[in-house]
Chain A
Amino acid sequence: MATIKAGSIRKGMYILFKNAPYLVTKTDFLSPGKGSALMRVKLKSVISSGTTDFSFKSNETVEEVDVSSMQMQYLYLDGDELVFMNSSTFEQLSVPIDLVGEQHKLLIEEQQIYVLMYDEKPIGVRLPDKMKLKVALAEDADGGNTVGQARKTVELETGLKILAPLFVRTGDTLIIDVATMSYISRG
């Protein structure tokens, strides 16, 4: 753990707030009325995944917490938990879907993924910015007299449905933008 000034809190850091670890998802500087400098942060609990807003005095001290990452193999979805395995020890652990969000629909079985750990507990996963997924089903469609970018719905190997250009066929590999879960190009 490292002590930092609240004024240097940045998006993406993990900090201790009311004795629990939180991910900083947004920061904003405030100078209300006369005098003080405050740092407003949006925090996402890594334990409950609930969010909260808090404004620190810029000069007060905050504990930045160490979150480690461990490469693991994604096995399968079990109810509302994602099951991962450590490929060298074969040890398994579960990460609640809530901590990953919608992006869990991009996970392919047996894929190597970094699982984030705090206090020996999984608190989320780190996904790459872009991922390659195969198209499981793309029906033929013609653009007719559509002007501009015509799109159709295709189903990816994980079951996720996205919009893709008309030329995409079953079996193609697509590059997907992870943040927006949308089509970038054919891979």
Chain B
Amino acid sequence: MQEKWQTLLVREALIDAVRLFFKSNSFHEVETPLLVECADPEPSIEPFSTSLIQASDSYRGYLTTSPEFSMKKLLARGSGNIFQICKSFRNAEPVSSRHNPEFTILEWYRVNANYKDIMADCENLFRFIAGYLEERELFVPIKCDLQSSWERISVSEAFQKYAGIDETTLHDQEKFKFRAVEKGYQVESQTTFQEVFDQILVNEIEPELGKSTPSILYDYLAPQAALAKKKSSDPRYAERFEFYINGIELGNAFSELTDSKEQLARFEAQNKVRHSEGRPEMKIDMDLVNSLDNLNQELGGIAVGVDRLVMLFSGIEDIRETLAFSARDVFSLDE
């Protein structure tokens, strides 16, 4: 208990630091619903479903996998810069050293900003948290240098540098899979490009990231855009970044897509994937789609895993040790 309590004290102070940082940078803190009717149709994420009972009627509902949709609706209604710290829920992912089905997420959005402004926010936030914890003698020295400017490396540079895969191959799915086979990876007819991409990223690139300074891996391939805007100077890429410290991915950011037509098309495409996999399609959040039309400025946003931040700043390698009670404590799960 002694060690766990110490980690819970780091968690408490870290969340205080995050609030202080954003409030002193003129962000408003918001609270949005965790129980919603329209879940994110993103096929790689499975929400927890439940129902809302009203007299004799029952309505299908979901726990949010991120507060993104509601926060964007507030932005479209003119909130200005906002942040939120809340619980998010993702089902069907095996509980592991980096995943708990219920987790704490930090999201922030900046108006008249893009992903480069969010990169700067990340650097400033991390230095602020480190200083705040240090003052309270809670800071565990991190191998990574947070004070120097963070490394910025694009996805195509990283594949060239660490996996020896050039940009032409990266954009040619057949050539890319062939290169993977040469490297000794198992590629079958049903293996997708994304699976091979992720496997090479995890095996060959991630271990090299965030070693001496944190690393920002930016400009993902356009099909990996999720809710990010395509790069106007080179539409083969999307303005998305993830950042890494000690090989662990801590956050995912976008220059947010604000084009309602494209957003609707992406949701429909995601529902098609769900349908082809025999999973239920999600009701599309038309309030979100229509709200985007009112967003006339550029918008930068990010989601950061707070439990992983606690891991980082307490020098812990298992997410369960950062939680008062993990899913393994509250469910009788098989090993």
| Measured CA separation A29–B90 after assembly (Å) | 14
Contact partner of B98 (CB less than 8 A), chosen from A28, A34, A54, A60, is A28
Beta-carbon contacts of A40-61 to B below 8 Å, as 1s and 0s?
1000000000000111110011
Given A33-B224, A34-B194, also A57-B99 (CB < 8 A):
no
For residue B203, which residue of chain A has the nearest CB?
A55
CA distance A6 to B44 in the complex (A): 19
Question: Quick one: which of B95, B191, B202, B249 contacts A40, CB cutoff 8 A?
Answer: B202
Cβ contact within 8 Å between B202 and A38: yes
Question: How many residues from A make CB contacts under 8 Å with B?
Answer: 19
Tell me, in angstroms, the Cα distance from A55 to B96 when the chains sit together.
Answer: 14
Judge if A32 is at the interface, Cβ distance under 8 Å.
yes
Q: Say yes or no: is A4 at the interface (Cβ < 8 Å to chain B).
A: no
Measured between C-beta atoms, what is the minimum distance from B281 to chain A in Å? Answer: 18
Q: A55 and B184 in contact (CB under 8 A), knowing A34-B42, A35-B44?
A: no
B15 contacts chain A at the CB level, 8 A cutoff: no
- Rounded to whole angstroms, the CA-CA distance of A29 and B252 in the bound complex is 19
A54 contacts which chain B residues (CB < 8 A)? 203
**Given A18-B184, A57-B186, CB of A33 within 8 Å of CB of B203:** no
Interface string of B26-65 (1 = CB under 8 A from A): 0000000000000000111000000000000000000000
Whether A38 contacts B96 by the Cβ 8 Å rule is: no
Given contacts A31-B44, A34-B42, contact A55 B202 (CB under 8 A): yes
Report the count of interface residues on B (CB-CB < 8 A). 30
Contact with A along B197-232 (1 / 0, CB 8 A): 011011100110000000000001000101000000
Q: Which of B233-257 contact A (CB under 8 A)?
A: 242, 249, 252
A29 and B94 form a contact (CB under 8 A): yes
Does the CB pair B98–A57 fall under 8 Å? no
Known: A57-B191, A61-B186. A33 touches B96 (CB 8 A): no
Query: Which residues of the other chain, A, contact B98 by a CB distance below 8 angstroms?
Result: 28, 30
Q: State whether the Cβ of A36 lies closer than 8 Å to any Cβ in chain B.
A: yes
Determine whether the beta carbon of B198 is less than 8 Å from that of A36: yes
| Residues on the B chain within 8 Å of A29, using CB | 93-96, 99
| Interchain CA distance A55-B207 in the complex, whole Å | 12
Complex Cα spacing A54 to B96, Å: 16
CA of A36 to CA of B45, assembled, Å: 10
Q: Cβ of B184: which chain A residues have Cβ within 8 Å of it? A: 18
**B residues within 8 A CB of A57?**
186, 191, 195, 199
Q: How would residues 135 to 168 of chain A score, 1 for a CB under 8 Å from any chain B CB and 0 otherwise?
A: 0000000000000000000000000000000000
Which A residues touch B97, using CB under 8 A?
A: 28
Interface string of B81-101 (1 = CB under 8 A from A): 000000000000111111100
Residues of A within 8 A of B199 (CB): 36, 38, 55-57
**How distant is the Cα of A183 from the Cα of B241 in the complex, in angstroms?**
51
Min CB gap B200→A, angstroms: 10
Does the CB pair B96–A28 fall under 8 Å?
yes
A30 to B195, CA, bound (A): 12
Q: Assess whether A32 is in contact with B198, with CB atoms less than 8 Å apart.
A: yes
Interface residues of A (CB under 8 A from B): 18, 28-36, 38, 40, 53-57, 60-61
**Which 6 A-B residue pairings sit nearest by Cβ, starting from the closest?**
A29-B94, A36-B198, A29-B96, A60-B186, A36-B195, A35-B194
Q: Provide 23 A-B residue pairs closer than 8 Å at the C-beta atoms, listed in order of the A residue.
A: A29-B94, A29-B96, A30-B98, A31-B99, A32-B198, A32-B202, A33-B198, A33-B220, A33-B242, A33-B252, A34-B44, A34-B224, A35-B43, A35-B44, A36-B194, A36-B198, A36-B199, A38-B202, A40-B202, A55-B199, A56-B199, A57-B199, A60-B191
